[in-house]
Amino acid sequence: MRPVRARRRVLESLAKTKALVMIQADSRLQHHALCEAVLNQIEATWVALIRQVGDAHGLKPEAIHSLSDLMEQLSSRQLVSLEAQKLHSLSTDRDSWLASYWAHRAKVSCPDEVPESTDSELIPLTDKSGLDRLKNERYAPWVEELSDLVGDFQNRFDES
């Protein structure tokens, strides 16, 4: 039954990610909060997918906190996982959507100092001109790539 629970967690996490991307913010503060929520949910989905791969190979999902945990546990049991290899390949590809995601997440988590605006009409936390469009254009492709990856893995797990 564990694989069903791990699968449900991945699919629920992905659904939350997709829902967050679609929410429209009423202010700049809400936009920033939503952006951080989307980034956190993408990471939660990534970790849930890693745990599902481990679970499919008989590992305890709650003992896997990262891709390196998964790789170490598979290696210690001398197990080979095509899904784990695909995740590892994706994580080491500097041109992948995942690399872009991690770089952006780091920048959002520790932002550079923002210079004062020269436009006196803009109030930083209430002006949201174009922000939802930016959020959707930037994050939606990552969510779609993650969704494709999750779908691919679900099909593989269904076949085995």
Torsion sign, CA atoms 34, 37, 43, 46: negative
> What does each C-alpha distance from 140 to 18, 38, 68 come to in angstroms?
8, 10, 26
13-72 pLDDT, tens digit per residue, is 999 999 999 998 888 788 888 889 999 999 999 999 999 999 999 999 999 999 999 999
* pLDDT value at residue 1: 40
* pLDDT value at residue 123: 47
Q: In whole angstroms, what separates CA 24 from the centre of its chain?
A: 19
* pLDDT value at residue 119: 53
* pLDDT value at residue 114: 54
Q: What is the pTM of this model?
A: 0.82
Mean pLDDT of the chain: 86
The more confidently predicted of residues 27 and 145 is 145
Question: Does residue 11 contact residue 51 with C-beta atoms inside 8 Å?
Answer: no
Among 4, 7, 38, 44, residue whose Cα is nearest residue 20? 38
Q: Where are the domains of the chain?
A: 2-109+138-159
* pLDDT value at residue 95: 96
